[in-house]
Amino acid sequence: MAHAVAEVDVNASADTLYAFLADFGSVSWMQGVTKVEVEGDGPGMARSIYAGGEECVVEVLESLEPAERRVGYTITQNNPLPVADYHAHCTAIEVGANSSRLRWACDFTPADGVDESLAVAQVEAMYGVLAGWVKNAIEEPS
C-alpha cells in the first residue's frame, strides 16, 4: 500500500473545519462541479460528482469520527487518480483557538503499470488543490 498526505492551515477552529468536512453531501467548494447527486445519509451515503460530462466520480462516506474530527471516504467509480483500493481521511487538527490544520491522507495501491512515487506525487498534488479550495471556502465564504 502507498500513502499520500497533504496539509494546509485554516483560519477557523478545528470544530468549524470538521463540520465543513462532515457535510459530505455539500461540494459547493469544489471548482468545476456542474452537478452533485447524493444518496443516503451518514456513513454509507454516496455522492456522485459531475464536472460537465455524463460520467461522474462516485465517493462513498466510510466514517464520521467526531472525537477525532476525521471523515473517511473511498472513491468507488471513475477515480480520476492512477490508483486502486483508495481509502482517504480528512482530519481537522486543532492548532489554536481559531486555527486548525486540514490533514488529507490516503492509502492506495498504484494502478497497474503506474510507478508508486508518481502515483503518490499525483495524489498529493490533487490534495493540495482540494485542501486549498476548502481553506478558501471557509476563510472567504461567498
Domain boundaries, given as residue ranges, for the chain:
2-31+62-139
| pTM for this prediction | 0.93
Quick: pLDDT tens for 23-41.
999 999 999 999 999 999 9
Distances (CA, A) of 24 to 44, 52, 54, 63, 120: 11, 20, 21, 10, 24
Domain covering 2-31+62-139 assigned CATH 3.40.309.10 in the classification? no
Apex 128 CA angle, 1 and 25, nearest 5: 85
Quick: pLDDT tens for 99-132.
999 999 999 999 999 999 999 999 999 999 999 9
